[in-house]
Amino acid sequence: MENQKKKFLIVIIGPTAIGKTVLSIKIAQHFNCEIISCDSRQFFKEMTIGTAVPSEEELAAAPHHFIHNKSIFENYTVGDFEKEAILKLDFLFETNDYAVLVGGSGLYVDAVLKGFDDFPEIDHVVRNLVAKNYEQQGISYLQDELGKRDPDYFSVVAKENPQRLMRALEVCIGTGKPYSSFLNQKKSHRNFTPILIGLEAERQIIYDRINLRVDMMMNTGLLAEAEKLYPHRNLNALQTVGYRELFEYFDGNFTLDFAIEEIKKNTRRFAKRQLTWFKRTENAKWFDYLSPVGEILSCIKNK
């Protein structure tokens, strides 16, 4: 038990484009440890530019895991990630007292820290009904129904992701209880102590950084990457900001300029949801994104 207390998982959270990758590398270098990525879209090797995968230089600066380790054609769930991430952490902690977890996917962070929640089996009749209504009425049906049945979860869910919305709505209808009532019920034993570090900035700064990142993505080939993935647009992995808007451009529904503005707008909305989710995280210490690394390291060492 004494040995377990010496194992620390440094968790870097915060909205997209805030600087989590850079900070995680500096912390990993300081403690000579490795990084677990829990960005649910950086898992997929076909998606690079639109998911802001760390550069080759950044990947070389510290060992990373769970980046480009899956294909968009594989069915990879948060439950799968939890099991694989815990196995990897157990292995890393055999030779190091520290590891870093970084990423903007709050559900995946929670899965590693607390365990993936158990949900009851939902009758196939309910699942088929939700799927049929979605097919006939579109994503607005899912959004409206989930907003009424579970406003708490609806406030943080990715509202443009039909798979997430359908799953939550199925649980709401099938159990008669809000999807959120099943979250964070299971407390899995973990052989490490988490140290949570949050990065934040004024909202306009976050938005400006997002807009700049989208422009950089477009300048480095996001359009061509999205065009290559366009034939597979219905895959779950591609229900993602940055690709979905460009698919609308390829369909002739958006101009390119409008699609780019939609990417920026939807990414800003995503960042707002990330902050809503992460601000609920207990025991997180929040720092301004320009805080000196030394200040953050001192906080970690005093834990």
| 268 and 163 in a common domain | no
| 201 and 99 in a common domain | yes
Kindly report, residue by residue over 17-48, the tens digit of the pLDDT: 999 999 999 999 999 999 999 999 999 999 99
Give the CATH number of the domain where residue 134 resides: 1.10.20.140
Q: Identify the band that residue 216 occupies on the pLDDT scale cut at 50, 70 and 90.
A: very high
Kindly report, residue by residue over 140-183, the tens digit of the pLDDT: 999 999 999 999 899 888 888 888 899 899 999 988 989 988 87
| 132 and 103 in a common domain | no
By mean pLDDT, which of 3-12, 74-83, 171-180 is the weakest? 3-12
3 state SS of 237: helix
* CA–CA separation, 40 and 290 (whole Å): 26
Kindly report, residue by residue over 93-111, the tens digit of the pLDDT: 999 999 999 988 998 999 9
Q: Under a CB-based contact definition with an 8 Å cutoff, are residues 17 and 271 in contact?
A: yes
Average pLDDT over residues 186-215: 93
17 annotated as ligand-binding = yes
Question: For 245, how many CA atoms within 13 A lie in the half-sphere containing its CB?
Answer: 20
83 annotated as ligand-binding = no
Give the CATH number of the domain where residue 216 resides: 3.40.50.300
Q: Identify the band that residue 5 occupies on the pLDDT scale cut at 50, 70 and 90.
A: low
Residue 180 pLDDT = 85
| 110 and 248 in a common domain | yes
Average pLDDT over residues 72-93: 93
DSSP 151-185: HHHHTTS-TT-HHHHHHHHHHHHHHSS-GGGGTT-
Average pLDDT over residues 275-280: 91
Q: Identify the band that residue 184 occupies on the pLDDT scale cut at 50, 70 and 90.
A: low
| 67 and 204 in a common domain | yes
| 218 and 89 in a common domain | yes
Residue 1 pLDDT = 39
Token reading at 56 = 């080759």
- Distance, first Cα to last Cα, the chain: 18
| 221 and 91 in a common domain | yes
| 12 and 103 in a common domain | yes
As for how many domains the chain has, the answer is: 2
16 annotated as ligand-binding = yes
* CA–CA separation, 28 and 291 (whole Å): 17
* CA–CA separation, 162 and 283 (whole Å): 32
* CA–CA separation, 125 and 222 (whole Å): 40
Q: Evaluate if residue 3 carries a pLDDT over 60.
A: no
| 176 and 214 in a common domain | no
| 196 and 77 in a common domain | yes
Token reading at 295 = 């200040």
Last residue of a domain, one of 144, 160, 182: 182
Beta 35-37 vs 98-102: how paired, if at all? parallel
45 annotated as ligand-binding = no
Helices (H), the chain: 20-31, 56-61, 78-92, 106-114, 124-137, 139-149, 151-154, 162-175, 203-219, 222-229, 244-250, 256-278, 293-301
Q: For residue 40, give the nearest of 153, 214, 163 by alpha carbon.
A: 163
- Supply the range of the domain harboring residue 130: 124-182
Kindly report, residue by residue over 222-247, the tens digit of the pLDDT: 999 999 999 999 898 998 999 999 99
| 53 and 153 in a common domain | no
* CA–CA separation, 95 and 1 (whole Å): 17
| 231 and 160 in a common domain | no
Length of the chain: 303
Token reading at 296 = 């953050």
Q: For residue 239, give the nearest of 49, 68, 51 by alpha carbon.
A: 51
15 annotated as ligand-binding = yes
48 annotated as ligand-binding = no
* CA–CA separation, 178 and 266 (whole Å): 26
| Average pLDDT in the chain | 92
Kindly report, residue by residue over 125-141, the tens digit of the pLDDT: 888 889 889 988 989 99
* CA–CA separation, 26 and 37 (whole Å): 15
Average pLDDT over residues 215-224: 98
Instruction: Give the dihedral of Cα atoms 45, 50, 52, 53; nearest 10 deg.
Output: 10
Last residue of a domain, one of 166, 182, 198: 182
List beta partners, residue 13: 198
Residue 187 pLDDT = 64
